[in-house]
Chains A and B, each alone.
Chain A
Amino acid sequence: MLTYSADEMMTVAAARSLRNGMTCFVGIGRPSEAANLARATHAPDLVLIYESGTIGAKPGQVPLSIGDGILAETADSVVSVPEIFNYWLQPGRIDVGFLGAAQLDKYGNINTTVIGNSYAKPSVRLPGAGGAPEIAAACREVIVVVRQSRRTFAERVDFVTSVGFGDGQGSRQRLGLTGGGPQLVITDLGLLRPDPDSGELTLAGIYPGVSVANVQEKTGWDLAVSHDLAEIPPPTEAELTALRELLLTAPGSARQTGAPAATSSR
């Protein structure tokens, strides 16, 4: 019997969500881990794009930052930062944006800026936007990877750093956002997908050993359950082995001990 952690299940589920040959704009932390796991397993031709301007990076290890030298050295092309955003991301060339979150609401809006009621006097100051607002706006779809808790999964985010479905379905069109928005949220308990009519995130899949009640307890809104709720298969031995080998090469130990990603640190 394989034993694995909830974080490992989450990273494996996130890797599975990426199809071979896709172009993927990768955030640092767990999204980057999962994207590199996908490359090491079922998606060797996944095109990894980092906001540092490295297009088609093929790191043999998980980079600590979006600008590690190995990304530039293995990339198909390295472009400037204005160019990566203006020529590559903005026109909608990228299939999937792979993001983390410190706070996420029921319409998939992301907060990575401040926790608290006041922007000027926040209770917690987070790193801020980085590339996420435009990644969330312009990619054909967005996948969010984030651990689930009542604090993180809020009815409304304290600050909209990156827009999901705004106030609900139709908001993206009104705002002129060209990409498809958050189509999948992968947590340490299961998978959430937007309801096609309302845009509200609903429970679409759970991991082995997790109950619907478990997930609802850790959600800050009244979480609806999809009528075709799926049980997600556990990690295979090959997936777990590849993930653990990948993390052994990661700089430092923070990622290996399951510390939160930079975008969700407190």
Chain B
Amino acid sequence: MAEIVTLAEAISATVHDGDTVAMEGFTHLIPHAAGHEVIRQRRRDLTLVRMTPDIIYDQLIGAGCARKLVFSWAGNPGVGSLHRFRDAVEHSWPLPLELEEHSHAGMANRFAAGAAGLPFAILRGYRGTSLAENTAGVADIVCPFTGETLTAVSALRPDVAVIHAQRADRRGNVQYWGITGVQKEALLAASRSVVTVEEIVDSLDPRPGAIVLPCWTVSYVAVVPGGAHPSYALGYSVRDNDFYLAWDEISRDRERFAGWLDEHVYETAVAVRGGGAAC
């Protein structure tokens, strides 16, 4: 049952050292503010799961929160490398980072299997690639009906899913639209969840293409306007492409990155409201 709380309360209640955490949002609706709160609460030894680690995990990795990364594409979209990710993989800084690497199709199906309560998913994929040799949780499987060899990928069952949405109502029903990514699957696959929202409204009027997550599937809702920045919330903000370009420089150097973290994460508390009703 959803409780409407502050972001700090939501993260404190759900994300613990050593947990497997999926912060999803495919370019759109990336829960950056929640990622910053995890950094501020100095969580450690996390297994971070995300199709596109993006800037949000570059920051968590550089801040030393992660032990392992489960992912399918670790770049700064349209810009280039994620330098904190590369520094961790190539130089073990600030810590060694274990990798579990898939394709997008594989990750999407792994989340879907988790949401469906199945131990694995089936797809046509990975065959002939070096990924299959280097990643556990990828195996051939023979179709019992046709004899065709397909690929099985193990289900993802995160301890916590964290997503950002446009809005929720006062009972904690969540609504989001635009590029909807893999958030529904991630949230339904996880044991606990946090949803940050742009605003809370009295009731959710229908939107074309919107997904509604009923309040009884959500653990915590926190109001964080602009909580996706530099990603965006369609209808509320636009993607801050200039920040994605600037991140290339900020993140390239360890000291400059540390200074950025101090100024923009450790010394910043997000203005948040909580204490609302729940369903």
On A, residues with C-beta under 8 Å from B are 28-29, 51-54, 63-69, 71-73, 78, 80-82, 85-86, 89-90, 113, 119, 122-134, 137-138, 159-163, 166, 171, 175-178, 251-252, 254-255, 259-260, 262-263, 265-266
Contacts and interface: CB of A to CB of B under 8 A. Distances in A.
Range of interface residues on B (Cβ < 8 Å) = 35 or more
B130 A159 contact: yes
Interface stretch (B59-67, B81-89, B166-174): B81-89
B272 to A, nearest CB: 25
A265 B182 CA distance: 27
Given A66-B27, A131-B104, A163 B128 contact: yes
Interface string B221-241: 000000000001010001101
19 contacts: A69-B232, A69-B239, A71-B179, A72-B28, A80-B181, A81-B26, A81-B182, A82-B108, A82-B182, A125-B74, A127-B75, A129-B73, A131-B73, A133-B126, A137-B127, A252-B245, A254-B78, A260-B80, A262-B75
A113 B79 contact: no
A71 B82 CA distance: 23
B179 A166 contact: no
Contact of B28 (A52, A119, A166): A52
B131 A129 contact: yes
A263 to B, nearest CB: 7
Nearest to A52: B179
Contact of B124 (A66, A71, A138, A252): A138
Q: Pick the most buried of A68, A133, A262: most chain B CB atoms within 10 A of its CB.
A: A133
Interface of B: 26-28, 51-52, 71-82, 85-86, 89-90, 101-105, 108-109, 111-112, 123-131, 134, 148-149, 178-182, 184-185, 209, 232, 234, 238-239, 241-242, 244-245
A177 B82 CA distance: 31
Contacts of B245: 64, 251-252, 254
Query: Which among A63, A123, A130, A178 has the highest number of chain B CB atoms within 10 Å?
Result: A130
A68 B27 contact: yes
